[in-house]
Chains A and B, each alone.
Chain A
Amino acid sequence: MAAQGEELTVQGYIQHHLTNATMCTTENGISFNYACQDAGFWTWHIDSLLFAVGLGVLFLWAFYKVGQKATAGVPGKFQCFVEILVEFVDGVVRDSFHGRNALIAPLGLTIFVWVFLMNLMDLVPVDFVPHAAVLMGIPYLKIVPTTDLNMTLGLSLSVFALIVYYSIKVKGVSGFVKELTLQPFNHWALIPVNFVLETVTLIAKPISLALRLFGNLYAGELIFILIAALLPWWAQWSMSLPWAIFHILVIVLQAFIFMMLTIVYLSMAHEDH
């Protein structure tokens, strides 16, 4: 479904589906979409933010409710489900994180469930929500926050900040600098080489985290859009159903990988050499 004023072509259809609803401030006050094309950095993808925050609140509200009513007696089905998730994340943290930090396990749980929910939006048929939005006068709407590079980068840069913070907190500034300069070749003449290598390694962590999640979900979404754009309506299910079933695996796996790597990176940050 193209935005108003655009011709309905395959290219236009795909382009429309890959465009975020944007918001920015111009001299005319708060503006949306077309008016924000030149706003530069201070542009907000309000659809991504809205769905991300909405799903995050949904997740925390549901888990909070369970936590308030949780008893040591016979648990309800949802409490069981939540406890399985909590124990699963707790087990992963115990196995992979060598150190004591009360932040890591809740961080892992938040990442796993939140990223999973954001990925899950990928399984909503591609036209349902955007089409309804167009009918309500919202020309662009992307409902899968993790197909927005800004969202995945926002997550991975936060993780990066934690990595740097804990590296310095555990090893001290000098320890952190030593780690960057005296590895892998422990010789003063090779300090510049070490620094370049270690910095690339460090920077690669958040970048790879963000790009892996974004790439998987963006590609998955694009394939759904292509199926919807290129096949007649009565044949779409033959492609989209297998892809959706396969995609269930992908979205869980990507959420898990993001959580797992976050835990591993933070564990590495806690290790003193």
Chain B
Amino acid sequence: MSINATLLGQAISFALFVWFCMKFVWPPLMKAIEERQKKIADGLADASRAEKALDLAQAKAGDQLKQAKEQAAEIIDAANKRKNQIVDEAKQEAEAERAKIIAQGQAEVEAERNRAKEELRKQLAILAVAGAEKIIERSVDEAANADIVDKLVAEL
């Protein structure tokens, strides 16, 4: 085992290899690694940002839902009130109409009765006079008893 020129050859090739590695091998590999690291870091940052945005959106959606429910309840309340109001109004109107119709009917019935009464009274007077005439024809003359007949008619 002797030391010889092989040593020089090895040293020269070593120097060339290191130079080549430093110039052409290391930089692109390091660049790719660093780019990927950056990509991954960006991706992770994006993911956490998206998570935050999701939380925010969920909170907002919850708020809006609550608001909408409140509004719906208000609208239903108002509608119920209005309904009751309308029903009451209709009831009152119907009541008034009924009273009016009943009053009218009673007035008509009253008028009819009065008319019938008058008619009956007239015919009864005629009937009474006729009856009296028949009686008087036999006993006294008609003129002497006319005042009695009139009295009778007036009493009917």
Query: What chain A residues lie within 8 Å of B58 (beta carbons)?
Result: none
Whether the Cβ atoms of A149 and B20 lie closer than 8 Å is: no
Report how far A49 CA is from B14 CA in the complex, Å. Answer: 11
A228-270 contacts to B (CB < 8 Å): none
Whether the Cβ atoms of B13 and A56 lie closer than 8 Å is: yes
Whether the Cβ atoms of A52 and B25 lie closer than 8 Å is: no
Which listed residue (A82, A107, A149) contacts B29, Cβ 8 A?
A82
Report how far A83 CA is from B25 CA in the complex, Å. Answer: 11
Report how far A71 CA is from B31 CA in the complex, Å. Answer: 9
Q: A56-B13, A103-B18 are in contact. Are A63 and B30 (CB under 8 A)?
A: no
Closest B residue, CB atoms, query A48? B6
- Digitize B1-43: 1 where CB-to-A-CB distance is under 8 Å, 0 elsewhere: 1111111111101110110111011111111110110110000
Q: A60-B17, A109-B26 are in contact. Are A49 and B31 (CB under 8 A)?
A: no
Which listed residue (A73, A75, A110, A154) contacts B6, Cβ 8 A?
A154
Whether the Cβ atoms of A44 and B5 lie closer than 8 Å is: yes
Whether the Cβ atoms of B21 and A60 lie closer than 8 Å is: yes
Closest A residue, CB atoms, query B36? A72
Whether the Cβ atoms of B1 and A149 lie closer than 8 Å is: yes
Whether the Cβ atoms of B20 and A60 lie closer than 8 Å is: yes
Closest-CB distance, A261 to chain B (whole angstroms): 15
Instruction: Flag whether A185 is at the interface (Cβ < 8 A).
Output: no
Q: What is the total of A-B residue contacts with beta carbons within 8 Å?
A: 125
Q: How large is the interface on B (under 10, 10 to 19, 20 to 34, 35 or more residues)?
A: 20 to 34
Whether the Cβ atoms of B4 and A110 lie closer than 8 Å is: no
Most buried by B among A67, A75, A83: A67
Whether the Cβ atoms of B29 and A86 lie closer than 8 Å is: yes
Closest B residue, CB atoms, query A109? B21
Which listed residue (A48, A67, A153) contacts B25, Cβ 8 A?
A67
Whether the Cβ atoms of B21 and A153 lie closer than 8 Å is: no
Whether the Cβ atoms of B29 and A63 lie closer than 8 Å is: yes
Closest-CB distance, A102 to chain B (whole angstroms): 7
- Digitize A90-107: 1 where CB-to-B-CB distance is under 8 Å, 0 elsewhere: 100000000000110111
A36-80 contacts to B (CB < 8 Å): 39-45, 48-49, 52-53, 56, 59-60, 63-64, 66-68, 70-73, 75, 79
Closest-CB distance, B16 to chain A (whole angstroms): 8
17 inter-chain pairs at a CB distance below 8 angstroms, sorted by A residue, are: A41-B3, A43-B6, A44-B5, A52-B10, A63-B21, A67-B25, A67-B28, A70-B29, A73-B36, A75-B36, A106-B22, A107-B22, A145-B10, A153-B3, A153-B10, A154-B6, A157-B7
